[in-house]
Structure 1
Amino acid sequence: MAPTAGPPLIPPAELQSFSEHLASSKRILALLGAGLSASSGLPTFRGAGGLWRTHDATVLATPESFEQDPGLVWQFYSYRRHMALKAQPNQAHFALAALAEKMPGFMTLSQNVDGLSQRAGHARAQLQLLHGSLFDVKCTSFYCDFVEQNFADPIVPALELPIDESDLTSDEARHAMSNALNAKKQSKELDISDEKVALPELAERDLPHCPKCKEGLLRPGVVWFGEALPRKVLHTIDDFVTSSSKIDLILVIGTSARVYPAAGYVDIARAKGARVAVINTDASDAPAGGMRKGDWFFRGDAARIVPELFKSVIGEIEEPSGRL
C-alpha cells in the first residue's frame, strides 16, 4: 500500500486567496524578525551559546558596557559575526530578494542584524535595517564619521576564537574552550555548567581602531539598548508609507511584531488598507493588534512557507552557486 500523503504545507484555499491578493498588490511592506534566520541555524540574540550562556546579552548590548569594557563587548559581537558568517541565507531570504526584484513597490523592514538578507541579494534600496548590521563598523570618536561594511572574521587577530565551538559536540566544545582560554594569563572567569571558563581580557590597543582618524575605537554598527533607531532608515520608511494613500499587504515573518516601533508599522499599514499575513512557528505570535477578518496566519518554517507563498509571482527559487 502506498503511503498516505500528509496534509499540504499550506491549505489550498488559503494559498489561493493569498496568491490572488499578492498578484494584485502594488505596495507591500514586510517586517522580518529572528524567526526568519532560525531556519539558517542562527541562535537568537538572547540564545547565544558557548561561553556566552552565562552572560545577559541585553547588558552587553549597551553603550555603557562598551565604554566600561570594550574588549568584552567586542568578543561577544565577534562571536555573533562568526556564527552569522557560518550560516547561509535560507530559501525565505532568497524568495524575499526575488520578490523585491519583481515588485518595485515592495519594502522590507528587517529587525535582524545577521546580514543574511544582504547575502541573499536583497536590493539594498528595498531593505531597511531597523537595528543596523553586525557587518557595519563605525568610529566612536565624536569628530569622526567613518563607517564601513566589513565581513572579516575575525576583524582583528586578537578577536579570533580559540576554537570553533560549532564544529564540536557540546562536551567537546566546553572542554576545548576551557583548555584554550585558561592558557591566557589575564582572564575573567565565568561558570559554564560545572566548569570555570576564562574570557581573555583584551587591551584597547588590540581592538579594532578607525583607519580614518587613527584614534577612535571602532564599534559594531548595531543599535544598542538606549540608542535611537537610525534616522535615515526611519525617514526612508516614512517616505515609503506616506508616498501613497494605499498599502495592499504587510508580511510579518518570524516576529511577533508586538514591540514598538516595529509593531507600529502593522498599525500604519492596516490604516492604509493593508491585509496582514503572518508567517511564524508559534500560533500565539500574532501582532500587537491581533488578527482580523481577512488576515492570514501561516504556521510553520518560514524557509518552506515563504517560497511557496510567493511562487505564483517569482516562480521556483534557485540558490546562486557563489555565496559569501
Structure 2
Amino acid sequence: MRLPPLPAGPVAVLCGAGLAAASGVPTFRGPAGLWRRHRPEELATPAAFARDPRLVWEWYDWRRGLIAGCRPNAGHRALARLAGSRPGTTLISQNVDGLQERVPPARPLLLHGSIWRLRCAGGCGRGEWEDRRPRLPELPPRCPDCGGLARPAVVWFGEGLPAGSWRRAAAAASACALFLAVGTSAVVQPAAGLIDLARSAGAVTIEVNPEPTAAAVDHRLVGPAEEILPALVAALV
C-alpha cells in the first residue's frame, strides 16, 4: 500500500459503521437488517417509541445482545494508538456500538450516542447513565429517579445531534491538518459535512473504505479499515 504525503499537525478521524464490520457488528441495512419485518427507520424514531416503547426496546435489547459478543478489531486498536501517541488527535464516531471506547485511551466524540447508555424519556433532569448488561431485566426500563420510561441515549431519525459533541467535532475538523474518513458512507448529514469543512480549511483529506464513496477527498485508500489503519497509523506516530 502506497501512502500519500502525510502532514504534521492535528488529526481528526470520522468513523462510520465500516470500522466495526470486522468485529461482526451488523449494519442493519438492506433485507438482512430487518427485525420481525421492521426496518430500522421504522423503530429508531421518537414516534415509534411513543407508540410502542416496548417494541422499540425489544429491538434495542436484541441489538445489545448481538453487540455484546463483538470485540474491537485492529482498526479500533490502531486509532487508539493514534489518539494516545499523536497530540491533537480527535476521534469522531457515528457508531453507537461502544467498541472504540473499550480500547484506551480512545475517548471518541459520540455524534449518535451509545447503545449502552440510557436517559429519562420524560425529561426529569437526570443525566444519562450507563448499563452494560447485554440484556436488560425489564422492558421497557425505567428511570431510577422518577420511575418514568427510559429510552436509549442515541440519536433517532428526525433528532438533532448532541450540541456539545457536534461543536467539538466541527472545531476539530476546522483546525486539523489531516482528516481521515474511515468506514463511512459520507452521505449521512450533518456528519458527512465534516469532510468538506476540513477540506475547505486546508486539511489533507483521506478516505479509508473497501469501496470508494462519492465523498470529495484528496486521497483514497481502498480496503478494509482493519488492514489499512495499522499501517497508516504507524506512519503517523
TM-score above 0.5, yes or no = yes
Q: Is the 8 A contact 2:42 2:48 kept in 1?
A: yes
Which of residues 110, 117, 121 is equivalent to 1:136?
117
8 Å CA contact 1:278–1:286 kept in 2: the answer is no
Deviation at 1:28, TM superposition (A): 1.1
Answer yes or no: is the 8 Å Cα contact 1:254–1:279 preserved in 2: yes
Q: Does 1:311 align with 2:234?
A: yes
How far residue 143 of structure 1 moved from its aligned partner, in angstroms, is 2.4
Aligned residue in 2 for 1:258: 187
Normalization by structure 1: what TM-score? 0.69
**2:23 is paired with a residue of what secondary structure?**
coil
Structure 2 residue matching 1:45: 3-state secondary structure: coil
TM-score in terms of structure 2 length:
0.92
1:299 corresponds in structure 2 to 222
Task: Give 3-state SS (helix, strand or coil) of 2:29's partner.
Answer: helix
The CA deviation at 1:49 is 5.2
Q: Which runs of 4+ in 1 moved over 3 A?
A: 47-51, 238-242
Deviations 1:246-303 (A, max 9, x none): x2111011112123211211111011111111111113x131xx34xxx221111111
State how far apart, in whole Å, the 2-side matches of 1:53 and 1:40 are: 24
Within the candidate set 155, 160, 164, 1:228 is matched to: 160
Larger Rg: 1
Q: Answer yes or no: is the 8 Å Cα contact 1:146–1:212 preserved in 2.
A: no
For 1:144 and 1:60, the matched residues in 2 are separated by 25
The alpha-carbon distance between structure 1 residues 255 and 108, as it changes in their structure 2 partners (threshold 3 A), is: same
> Closer, same or farther in 2 for the Cα pair 1:53/1:71, shift >3 Å?
closer
CA gap 1:241/1:302 in 2 versus in 1, 3 angstroms = closer
Q: Where does residue 209 of structure 1 map in the other structure?
A: 142
- Counterpart for residue 167 of structure 1: none
Matched residue type, 1:91 = A
CA 47–121 in structure 1, closer or farther in 2 if over 3 Å, else same:
farther
Q: Distance in 1 between matches of 2:173 and 2:37?
A: 41
* Long gaps (5+) in structure 2: none
Deviation at 1:224, TM superposition (A): 0.3
Of residues 128, 131, 134 in structure 2, which corresponds to 1:153?
Answer: 134
Partner secondary structure for residue 148 of structure 2: coil
Q: Deviations over 1:118-146 (max 9, x none)?
A: 0122432xx11111110111111222323
Q: CA deviation at 1:152?
A: 0.8
**1:313 CA drift (Å):** 4.1
Shift of 1:237: 2.2
1:78 maps to what in 2?
61
Matches within 5 A, 1:61-140: 61-124=44-107, 127-140=108-121
Structure 1 spans left out of the alignment, 5+ residues: 1-9, 159-205, 315-324
Percent identity of equivalent pairs = 41
What is the alpha-carbon distance in structure 1 between the residues aligned to residue 235 and residue 208 of structure 2? 17
Contact in 1 for aligned 2:173/2:194 (Cα 8 Å): no
- 1:4-19 to structure 2, matched below 5 A, reads 10=1, 14-15=2-3, 17-18=4-5
Deviation at residue 91 of structure 1 after TM alignment: 0.3
1:210-263 CA-partner distances (Å, limit 9, x unpaired): 1122x2111111100111100111122244355x4xx21110111121232112
Asked whether the 8 Å contact 2:170–2:194 carries over to 1, the reply is no
Whole-Å Cα distance in 2 between the matches of residues 50 and 44 of structure 1?
Answer: 7
Partner of 2:201: 272
What is the CA RMSD across the aligned residues, in angstroms? Answer: 1.9
Q: Write the distance in 2 (CA, Å) between the matches of 1:75 and 1:25.
A: 47
